Amino acid sequence: MKIILRREDYNRMYEHAKANVPEEACGLIAGKELEDGTRKITKVYLLENIDHSNEHFSIDPKEHLAAIKNMRANGLLPFGNWHSHPETPSRPSEEDKRLANDSRATYMIFSLEHEDEPVLNAFHIEGNDGERTVRKEELEII
């Protein structure tokens, strides 16, 4: 599946991730599905990591609920979430895979491991516990 992200949203994610260092930053992504199945992200939600940790993140359920209602009110589809890895690469960790419980979701990871070379990737994760399959999605930033 192809994912399209606007440059301005990429920049907002990057700034949010950078502002939250050393903690992981997180949020949600939403948008419209194009005829060919491409997911065009038109709204990125910058939310609080209630774990306030450099090793974990949890999205505040109240903010999550408010974002879902905002998406619905604006005719957007919930696509999934994003979070940052301040110190590690842009790939799902074992914990990321274990907690990726929505097989319809897109999971984006913004790595700040190398300060001058941020990396954002999108993944699809599915399967049962212990047998998760990870597929890197095509990501186009426009």
CA distance between the termini of the chain: 16
CB 79 within 8 A of CB 102: no
> Dihedrals φ, ψ of 90, to 5°?
-85, 75
> How many residues interact with other proteins (rule CB under 8 A)?
32
Site string for other proteins, 43-82 (x = CB under 8 A): --------x--xxxxxx-xx-xx--x---x--------x-
Closest to 5 (Cα-Cα) out of 113, 82, 64: 82
102 binds other proteins (CB under 8 A): yes
Residues that bind other proteins (CB under 8 A): 24, 26, 28, 51, 54-59, 61-62, 64-65, 68, 72, 81, 83, 85, 87-88, 92-93, 95-96, 99-103, 105, 107
